């Protein structure tokens, strides 16, 4: 690939607007200028250095010119860049700490980190791929022709594609936690952006699985074949995902830019999921013939109704937390539940009011059933290392790489 990149409407400012968020992702980070040529000159083939510089610059330029919206082009460039970058992480090449890599926030251009570590660069690249994938899933769930009428129609295909993207993003982030962060020295990890904390990355991965489950619950509600048991299971799984995501964030420093907004998003979705779980558990219990079953069911419906009210407050807090965003109109499972829960809670509490009066001691909220989680992150593997790193190509530089590095060290000591 050459060093050209697509030309976009640079300088054309859009009218300021408050963005709508369906799939939440923290601010995207992009590469900032760094001198790869100077750091790697003479150590690896010139062609490899040129490709590294070219692809890295292209990623930065396209991201800045499009605000990260050129997802296909960026993903392709990131994959190509990774195939060459992998070579810098190999111990036998001895290049892990030679280049100072710089990254900044795409939103405000503020430079966040400068780290001389190739694993940090790899972490940042895979993290950017995850954020792009979440952004793509978000765009699928926001119809382009949405007019603000309060009605939202998202096709079944778009919903299923969004679920696939969420699993893919979760896989990227799981790879970061399990295979990359563990290779970065502790002293460097402490200096990284708060968005790259283990707990934050794990929380986003799990919440992606939760949002995928929420979409699946909506599809089940729309399907005549889906049983009540299936809907309850999905609702309970949804609650478990958000509970786990919240636990991941509990030990993190959330004082950074998107930290407070992230925790409010998790709280909002957690309360919504809890309302859904109690509603469907109540419907299952209400099918029993014993009076205690009906009493427990009413307790579930009333709890779900209270939780819906609480979820609206949490949604407002999320939207108002910086940076300010708009909540989407009710859609999918939550649109259905906001209509059904108040109606069912009112009807069933009137229907079984006499039982509630007679059996006040039994008015306790039942425990929700526990289920094994269905969705798992997609497996992700790094691309194959570029042929430029073949030993024959490296030795064409004049001497084996290790010997070259040793000579450089000797020169420094002599000086």
Q: Cα angle vertex 50, ends 47, 53, to 5°?
A: 150
pLDDT confidence band for 12 (50 / 70 / 90): very low
What is residue 393's predicted lDDT score, i.e. its pLDDT?
A: 61
* pLDDT tens-place string over residues 55-111: 999 999 999 999 889 999 999 999 999 999 999 999 888 899 999 999 998 887 676
Instruction: Tell me how far the alpha carbon of residue 319 is from its chain's centroid.
Output: 18
Does the structure show a pLDDT above 70 at 2? no
E strand or H helix that includes residue 111:
strand 111-115
What is residue 100's predicted lDDT score, i.e. its pLDDT?
A: 94
Q: Cα angle vertex 384, ends 113, 54, to 5°?
A: 50
Is 15 or 24 the better-scoring residue by pLDDT?
24
* pLDDT tens-place string over residues 383-407: 999 888 876 666 655 444 444 444 4
Does the structure show a pLDDT above 80 at 49? yes
> Would you give the DSSP letter of residue 30?
E
What is residue 413's predicted lDDT score, i.e. its pLDDT?
A: 46
What is residue 9's predicted lDDT score, i.e. its pLDDT?
A: 43
pLDDT confidence band for 310 (50 / 70 / 90): very high
Adjacency order of strands within the sheet including 101-105: 29-32, 101-105, 111-115
Does the structure show a pLDDT above 50 at 408? no
* pLDDT tens-place string over residues 249-301: 998 988 877 889 999 999 999 999 999 999 999 999 999 988 888 889 999 99
What is residue 411's predicted lDDT score, i.e. its pLDDT?
A: 44
Does the structure show a pLDDT above 70 at 13? no
What is residue 179's predicted lDDT score, i.e. its pLDDT?
A: 97
What is residue 414's predicted lDDT score, i.e. its pLDDT?
A: 44
* pLDDT tens-place string over residues 352-384: 877 776 665 456 889 999 999 999 999 999 999
Cα–Cα distance measured from residue 106 to residue 292, given in angstroms and rounded to the nearest whole number: 56
Mean pLDDT score of the chain = 87
pLDDT confidence band for 149 (50 / 70 / 90): low
What is residue 45's predicted lDDT score, i.e. its pLDDT?
A: 84
E strand or H helix that includes residue 141:
none
Is 10 or 137 the better-scoring residue by pLDDT?
137
* pLDDT tens-place string over residues 95-148: 999 999 999 988 876 767 899 999 999 999 999 999 999 999 999 998 765 555
Specify whether the CB–CB gap between 85 and 121 falls below 8 A. yes
């Amino acid at each position: 690939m050459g060093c050209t990149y697509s030309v976009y409407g640079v300088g054309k400012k859009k009218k300021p607007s408050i963005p709508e968020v369906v799939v939440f992702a923290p601010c995207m980070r992009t590469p900032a200028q760094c001198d790869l040529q100077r750091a790697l000159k003479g150590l690896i083939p010139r062609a490899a250095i040129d490709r590294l510089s070219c692809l890295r610059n292209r990623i930065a330029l396209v991201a800045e010119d499009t605000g990260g919206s050129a997802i296909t082009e960026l993903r392709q460039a990131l994959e190509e860049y990774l195939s060459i970058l992998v070579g810098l992480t190999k111990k036998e090449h001895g290049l892990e700490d030679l280049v100072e890599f710089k990254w900044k926030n795409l939103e405000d251009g503020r430079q966040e980190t400068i780290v001389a570590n190739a694993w940090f660069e790899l972490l940042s690249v895979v993290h950017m791929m995850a954020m792009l994938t979440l952004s793509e899933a978000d765009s699928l769930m926001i119809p382009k022709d949405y007019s603000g009428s309060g009605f939202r129609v998202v096709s079944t295909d778009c919903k299923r594609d969004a679920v696939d993207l969420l699993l893919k993003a979760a896989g990227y982030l799981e790879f970061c936690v399990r295979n990359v962060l563990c290779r970065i020295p502790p002293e460097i990890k402490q200096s990284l952006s708060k968005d790259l904390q283990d707990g934050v990355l794990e929380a986003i991965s799990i919440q992606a699985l939760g949002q995928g489950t929420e979409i699946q619950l909506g599809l089940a509600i729309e399907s005549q074949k889906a049983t009540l048991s299936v809907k309850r299971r999905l609702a309970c799984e949804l609650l478990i995902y958000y509970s786990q995501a919240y636990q991941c964030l509990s030990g993190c420093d959330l004082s950074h830019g998107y930290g407070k907004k992230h925790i409010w998003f998790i709280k909002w979705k957690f309360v919504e999921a809890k309302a859904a779980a109690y509603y469907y558990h109540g419907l299952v219990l209400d099918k029993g013939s014993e009076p205690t079953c009906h009493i427990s069911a009413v307790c579930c419906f009333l709890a779900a109704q209270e939780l819906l009210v609480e979820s609206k407050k949490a949604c407002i807090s999320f939207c108002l937390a910086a940076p300010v965003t708009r909540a989407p109109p009710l859609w999918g499972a939550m649109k259905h539940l906001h209509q059904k829960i108040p109606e069912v809670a009112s009807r069933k509490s009137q229907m079984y009011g006499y039982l509630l009066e007679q059996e006040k001691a039994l008015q306790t909220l039942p425990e929700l059933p526990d289920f094994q989680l269905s969705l798992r992150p997609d497996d992700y593997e790094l691309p194959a290392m570029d042929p430029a790193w073949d030993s024959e190509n490296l030795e064409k530089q004049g001497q084996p790489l290790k010997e070259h590095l040793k000579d450089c060290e000797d020169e420094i000591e002599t000086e």
